[in-house]
Amino acid sequence: MKIDLKKRDEAMKRGTFYSYVPKHLEIPGKPELNKFPFNVLFASFAVKDGKNIMGSALYEPDFYTYEKKGDLCLMRYHNVYNVDKNVSYLIIAYDEKNKIYRGNKYVNHELVGETEGRDDWNEFFIHFTMLGLSKGERCKFDETNSNKIEEIGFKVK
């Protein structure tokens, strides 16, 4: 697993907290999709006007983009808050032969982050979603309860 330590440290300074939905896709008659997630959630936290705010961007699979090229399976996931599906999206790939996951995140048509990892579902998605939100990424904002954040190990200052 390659981790860009500088990007990781910058993300943590911005108040980024990783979050993901670790459920595999389970579609009857489509076992080839089992290596892909049901959806992916990126989140970042901030304090605005004295209130704890969480921004989150949810990405859902676009089944029409699923491809298999030799041992490589890939599919796009689109940000549910974008009207145009081609503005912000993820490309998640799994190399069946080498057992490697790859994830690329694009916001406003630009690559903003990428992660690669061996066949460890949780570790890969923790590192991938550690990117948090990116500038210009459409997201949902919610006021959060700081006690709940502290319970899961993130201290709000």
Q: What are the tens digits of pLDDT across the range 60-117?
A: 999 999 999 999 999 999 999 888 888 899 999 999 999 999 999 999 999 999 999 8
Per-residue confidence (pLDDT) for residue 121, from 0 to 100: 82
CA of residue 123 relative to chain centroid, distance: 12
Least confident of 11-15, 16-20, 65-69: 16-20
Token pair in block for residue 29: 């008659």
CA of residue 6 relative to chain centroid, distance: 18
Per-residue confidence (pLDDT) for residue 140, from 0 to 100: 80
Rg (CA), the chain: 16
Model confidence pTM above 0.85: no
